[in-house]
Amino acid sequence: MADYDQELDASGLNCPLPILRAKKTLGAMEAGKVLHIIATDPGSVKDFEAFAKQTGNELMESKEEGGKFHFLIKKA
Amino acid sequence: MEQKKLAIIATKGTLDWAYPPFILGSTAAALGYDVEIFFTFYGLQLLKKDLDLKVSPLGNPGMPMPMGMDKWFPVLGTALPGMEAMMTMMMKQKMASKGVASVEELRELSQEAEVRFIACQMTVDLFDMDHNQFIDGIEYAGAARFFEFGGEADICMYM
């Protein structure tokens, strides 16, 4: 997984909490910085794709590893 | 690009119906939508400081019941005293175990995300409610106020 500036562990949280927490965390970050999100909700895969498309933040990476979902989002 | 608008009309006051307006409203706000929720009739219950929301299996055949209880308590059984309290408790436990946020938390997150709450003043008067019963940050207005926003909304949902 590429480098990131900040991490958000949303394990155990269900829709819509991972998206809301990610939005809040990104809000406090500078443009161009990368946020690493860890989630366990399988729905978050499609949700973060949709989140990136609609907010303009770039989804750099999305992968599953050992039952956890990892996302790298670069703030627009 | 102009900001999209989502208008929601919340009319139900049970635990299961409390979730959709706050989940969809807060998510839309996170996606950059301008969001307003108009709470009318039983939907006003969702704005109370002390939430006492319940879920009832009575007349709700789509509600999954734990341990095959629906086979043991067909229709009439769901009207037994204490059934509502038991199902409410079970639903809350189930939600907590699955990492689903509480209604209070989702409501707070919605306000934090700048979702605007409009309480129907006519219904407040109809049920002799008091503004002190409700959380802060609510606007009290009528149907015309809702249409001011709803008429320009890209999406409008009735719940």
Contact B11, B84 (CB under 8 A): no
Residues 6+ apart with CB under 8 A from A60: A2, A34, A72, A73, A74
Look at the alpha carbons of A56, A58, A63, A69 in this order and tell me if their dihedral is positive or negative: negative
B72 pLDDT above the threshold of 90: no
Q: Among residues A63, A65, A32, A33, which one has the least CA distance to residue A49? A: A63
Is A15 annotated in the active site?
A: yes
| Tens-digit pLDDT string for chain A (76 aa) | 679 999 999 999 999 999 999 999 999 999 999 999 999 999 999 999 999 999 999 999 999 999 999 999 999 9
Contact A74, A57 (CB under 8 A): yes
pLDDT of residue B146: 93
B94 pLDDT above the threshold of 70: yes
pLDDT tens-digit profile of B109-154?
999 999 999 999 999 999 999 999 999 999 999 999 999 999 999 9
Confidence of residue B78 (pLDDT cuts 50, 70, 90): confident
Is the minimum CB–CB distance between A25 and chain B shorter than 8 Å? no
Nearest Cα of chain B lies from the Cα of A13 at a distance, in angstroms, of 5
Contact B103, B15 (CB under 8 A): yes
Could you tell me what percent of chain B has a pLDDT over 70? Answer: 91
- On the question of a cis peptide bond just before residue A16, with omega within 30 degrees of 0, the verdict is yes
Is the minimum CB–CB distance between A46 and chain B shorter than 8 Å? no
Residue given tokens 């119906």 in the structure block: B17
Contact B123, B143 (CB under 8 A): no
B67 pLDDT above the threshold of 80: no
Residue of A14, A19, A50 with shortest CB distance to B98: A14
Cβ contacts of B6 on chain A, cutoff 8 Å = none
DSSP for B70-99, please give it: HHHS-GGGGGSTTHHHHHHHHHHHHHHHTT
User: What mean pLDDT is reported for chain B?
Assistant: 90
Nearest Cα of chain A lies from the Cα of B115 at a distance, in angstroms, of 13
Residue type, B87: M
